[in-house]
Chains A and B, each alone.
Chain A
Amino acid sequence: NAGVTQTPKFQVLKTGQSMTLQCAQDMNHNSMYWYRQDPGMGLRLIYYSASEGTTDKGEVPNGYNVSRLNKREFSLRLESAAPSQTSVYFCASSEFPRGGYEQYFGPGTRLTVT
């Protein structure tokens, strides 16, 4: 039982390049999330998927797109990377999108855009 896995762990991009961050969970959770963490800040929600087939914007969605590929997988795409997107990205999942259900986090991806 791996929990939430993310690939890659580290990535360096040049401004304007694109890439996709991959996330998968094996806990049969309905809901999945993408957060970013900047230095000296807590995590901020980028996008989430309450259930398979649905996605919604969070607090900071600009510059990102997401795909809920199936119940297990939720990817985050940067179409044209900018230095402001340098951050650590966390994927998370939970059984349901509301209430006190714990969100389980992946190990994070450190992305640097030069």
Chain B
Amino acid sequence: AQTVTQSQPEMSVQEAETVTLSCTYDTSESDYYLFWYKQPPSRQMILVIRQEAYKQQNATENRFSVNFQKAAKSFSLKISDSQLGDAAMYFCAYRSAPKGPELVFGKGTKLTVNP
């Protein structure tokens, strides 16, 4: 079974600075999708960014980008120019392409943004 590990239970960053959240996963599959979800205090789960395993190019969405290292099974999230509204729990998730449909989540990283 696939597992997703987020080794940083908590992280903090100063407003306007850059922070990187780590995620590693374990799988024997070659075709899969990886996601980062944000969960603010409102509890709403919001998709931040998505990466297809067959794409070598790292995904980018405005201030959010990933560093996808397929051989190392690593999928880190970089947040640039951090804003107060970025404070939230961040979850890394894995989905098998051939099997699906569930998302396998890590335990999350709580990000604090200091003014």
Contacts and interface: CB of A to CB of B under 8 A. Distances in A.
Interface residues of B, number: 24
Interface string A89-100: 010101001111
Main SS of the interface on chain B?
loop
Main SS of the interface on chain A?
loop
Interface string B63-101: 000000000000000000000000000010101011111
B45 A90 contact: yes
Given A99-B97, A107-B42, A45 B103 contact: yes
Contacts, number: 58
Interface in B10-56: 33, 42-47, 50, 52
Interface of A: 31, 33, 40-45, 48, 50, 58-59, 88, 90, 92, 94, 97-100, 102-103, 105, 107-108
5 contacts: A31-B101, A41-B108, A92-B45, A99-B33, A107-B44
Interface of B: 4, 33, 42-47, 50, 52, 91, 93, 95, 97-103, 105-108
The 7 closest A-B pairs by CB, nearest first: A42-B105, A97-B101, A98-B100, A105-B45, A45-B102, A108-B43, A100-B33
